Structure 1
Amino acid sequence: MTNTATPGAARRTAHHEAAGTPGGAAPLSRGLLLLMSAATGLAVASNYFAQPLLDLLGRELRLGTTMAAMIATAAQVGYGLGLILLVPLGDLVERRRLAVVLYAATAGFLLVSATAPNGTLLLTGTLLTALTSVAAQVVVPYAATLADPAQRGRVVGTVMSGLMLGALLSRTVAGGLAGLGGWRTVYWVSAVLVAGVAVLLWRFLPPLHTPSGLPYPALLRSTVALFRHEPVLRWRAGIAALSLASFSVLWTAVTFLLAGPRYGWSEAAIGTLGLVGAVGAVATTVAGRLADRGHVQWVTGIGSAALAASWLPIGAGGAGGASIWWLLGGVVVLNVAHQAVLNSNQSVIYALRPEIRNRLNSALMTAFFAGGAAGSALAAVAWARGGWTAVSVLGGVTGCGMFVLWVLERRAARPTSS
């Protein structure tokens, strides 16, 4: 058996679940929900600012191509470490304090990047910023716990829409701020905003403490053990990993396509593609409402099928003589489907064992971002070896893999006849 919460903690959590609010705190207001949504977006955005600035950073700090590329890689590595090492702390310490400390640390590390005189210090600042920016993944289950159980899907969808908008729009914002005041302006502005969010969260978040009764090393072991003891988590982690893999295949390789001879877009124009992808953020709230009505499985199935199908117009958009509208339409469908599936995954996972939501979220999101890292790496190989056709096949295969996993999950969930 996996170590879980102590009986007293479990009883307190059960009481919180029944009441829909923690320990008699006020219900989750619209203003607090919007604050939490904005907070997740700002935290995650800090990990993507460097991507459109790599060429500029390389020139100003005299970095080689490999060193410049490592800045983007450091953000992925740091975030992955934070998911494993820091997010489970939400089941150990008081959550408001944890969230505020992580946001304050993120603001401080952004200042390190803003003042970095060389590539080594910028790389360090990026890694540490990403490590603590997993504060976003503390806020998401926090919101799920504060929410009325009948509205949990909608609440998670709203918070996740902020997270996804932060990830998608960060490239556009970074390019605009760098054009106005240089690349350091991006980090200065972000540091001020994240510090402001830390103050607001301390002021308005209600205290929430659901201790697991486990020491920190045992807490980490129990997080890993969840994959062994929770079959639904295994299915959903696989679906999540393939979803972000397909998503990352697109966003890693599309720059090469649009900057190449087929379209010849400028860097500024390529950055605006994030605005097209941001349309998909509306899917998270719609998917959340459907989950609240008991349709979470259909959201996953239809979303997986749509994501796989989106690669047909995406692939056509890279073919000679094809219209850019094929590509843009496919990008919208892929983003809508990806975010709907992510929301359905979280709705399913959060309903498993409410008393260990942070560890469940840590396990799910670690698999999620591992899939994204793999997708990015494979996209670069596919582009080098087979161009946009190979990229489209790779994206389509990962999308089909999601749908297959969902079908297998549904079959495994059917009761066996005696």
Structure 2
Amino acid sequence: MTSPRPVLTTPVLLLMAVATGLCVGGNYFNQPLLASIADALGTSESAAASTVTVAQVAYGLGLLFIVPLGDMFPQRRLAVLLMLVAAAGQGLSGVAPNIGVLVVGTAVAGLFSVAAQVLVPFAATLATPEHRGRAVGTVMSGLLVGILAARSVAGILAELGGWATVYRVSAVAMVIVALALWRVLPATTPTARQSYGRTLRSLGNLLLAHPRLRTRALLGGLTFASVSALFSTMAFLLAGPPFGLGDLQIGLVGLAGLAGALAATVAGRLVDRGYGPQTTAVGVVTVVLSWPALAAGGTSLLWFLVGMLVIDLALSLVHITNQSVVYALDPDARSRLNSVYMTGYFIGAASGSALGTAAWTAGGWPGVCVLGAALGLLAALVWLYDRRIAARMPGGAVTTGDERAAA
């Protein structure tokens, strides 16, 4: 006789959302603090800026090499352990006497902050099928809010107690939340009883076996690339004429995207009601349409805020529906599917940032807007191809698929 499915209550779901926000948000603390870090540690700004790259690379490695462990080990134990190690990395960063120690702390925190990407598929596993979209959307809202709020929180705490304050506060908060998760999350049984090497090899098998994993990873990567082109250049635009905003003001402008991040929960509910294809369509079209507003934002702060709000909303709509499709492909391999999808998503983000910076150098804000719109149009083409694949599957375009892959 099988045990009943664990009930994922709203308080537990919200706690998981807070945990994901703390984990991933910590990778963005350093971005508004680079000048202060360089001055305090007696190093160059370029050396301080290297911590941004270290955080991104470490997180990417964690997506590929740690997240698949969610199918091999009890997810509660794995998520809590990863959070505690990430907290140790944040704590080390908060007491770093020199740039070398800060780099080590940043790398540890970034690598193990992928606890967030263990918790997202864990929420999908714990939720009942009719509430799975809501569960994923709620946890992802916490993650996105963490990313968007991290820069502003770091700037505010730096004003109050110096650049290291945010790392120390984050370390304590992560330990508290990790211990709370240990108390409230149910124990689960691993779904993949195989070696680590075989688990990693199965990532390629899953990618080959599921066409919609490929299309949705590409769709997510292109959409996030479009948004990342904005995030990587907005400070240049807002700091220069005609705006002339300071670091804290730019951080507060970035909070305009919070409304879009919170829409992830709404997207999850729409998926639960069977509107996943329509939600994706609205998201993809909205990514493209946001760029004319952002182009007008080159001279109008109001239009810039409108464009940022709309594009963040679009990102949430596409990302949550992507995850709903991907998690349905093989319920016993959700952590590995998430690893593949999020690696593609991360590559898109990194590529969009690099391309955005190059576009700014070559053509200023108009160049960035052309790039962002072009990436959105490419995403639309991928979405159309994905719809063709879905239409050929059993049940037609209205299903998310229930394929199984030999891991």
* TM-score clears 0.5: yes
Structure 2 CA distance for aligned equivalents of residues 26 and 147 of structure 1 = 8
Q: Which amino acid aligns with 1:383?
A: W
Counterpart among 333, 336, 351 of residue 328 in structure 2: 351
Shift of 1:415: 3.3
Tell me the alpha carbon deviations over residues 103-153 of structure 1, each in whole angstroms, 9 at most, x when there is no partner: 110111111101111111111111110100000000000010000100100
Q: Paired residue for 2:319? A: 342
Query: Out of 219, 224, 243, which is 1:239 matched to?
Result: 219
Deviations 1:188-228 (A, max 9, x none): 10000000011001111100122312100110110122211
1:110 aligns with one of 81, 86, 90:
90
The DSSP-based 3-state class of the residue aligned with 2:314 is helix
CA deviations 1:392-416 (Å, max 9, x no partner) are: 1111111111111111111233339
In the TM superposition, residue 30 of structure 1 has moved relative to its aligned partner by: 0.9
Task: Give 1:364's aligned residue.
Answer: 341
Identify the match of residue 238 of structure 2 among 253, 258, 267: 258
SS of the aligned residue for 1:272 comes to helix
TM-score scaled to structure 1, two decimals? Answer: 0.92
2:134–2:272 contact (8 Å) kept in structure 1:
yes
Aligned pair 1:398/2:361, yes or no? no
Report the residue type matching 1:402 in the other structure.
A
Q: Residue 63 of structure 1: CA displacement?
A: 2.1
Task: State the distance in 1 between where 2:284 and 2:380 align.
Answer: 5
> TM-score, normalised to structure 2's length?
0.94
Which residue identity is paired with 1:197? V
Identify which range, 281-290 or 102-111, moves more after superposition. 281-290
> Where in structure 1 do 4 or more consecutive aligned residues deviate above 3 Å?
none
Mapped to 1, the partners of 2:211 and 2:319 lie a distance apart of: 18
Aligned with residue 73 of structure 1, among 50, 53, 58: 53
Does the 8 A contact of 1:94 with 1:208 survive in 2? Answer: yes
Structure 1: distance between partners of 2:129 and 2:283: 23
1:324 aligns with 301
Counterpart in the other structure of 1:333: 310
Letter in 1 for 2:49: A
Q: Read off the aligned partner of 2:337 and give its amino acid letter.
A: L
Q: Does 1:151 align with 2:131?
A: yes
Q: What do the CA deviations read for 1:163-189 (whole angstroms, capped 9, x no partner)?
A: 000000011100000100001111110
Q: SS of the residue aligned with 1:414?
A: helix
Amino acid at match of 1:253: T
Q: 1:95 and 1:33 mapped to 2: Cα distance?
A: 15
Residues 228-255 of structure 1: per-residue CA shift (max 9 Å, x gap): 1110100000001011111111111000
- State the Cα deviation string for residues 61-98 of structure 1 (Å, max 9, x = none): 12223212211111110100000111000111111110
Query: For residues 178 and 184 of structure 1, what CA distance do their matches in structure 2 show?
Result: 7
Structure 2: how far apart are the matches of 1:414 and 1:36?
34
Q: Which moved more, 1:118-127 or 1:248-257?
A: 118-127
SS in 1 for 2:258: helix
- The amino acid that maps onto 1:359 is R
Where structure 1 has 5 or more consecutive residues not aligned to the other structure, the ranges are 1-11, 16-22
Unaligned runs of 5+ in 2: 394-407
Q: Alignment partner of 2:109: what SS?
A: helix
1:25 Cα deviation from its structure 2 partner: 5.5
How many percent identity over aligned positions? 48
Counterpart for residue 271 of structure 2: 291
Any idea what the Cα deviations from partners look like across 1:357-412, whole Å, max 9, x if unmatched?
A: 00000000010011000111111111111100110111111111111111111123
The amino acid that maps onto 1:385 is A
Hey, what's the Cα distance between the residues in 2 that align with 1:89 and 1:39?
18
Any residues of structure 2 matched to 1:165-244 within 5 Å, and which? 165-244=145-224
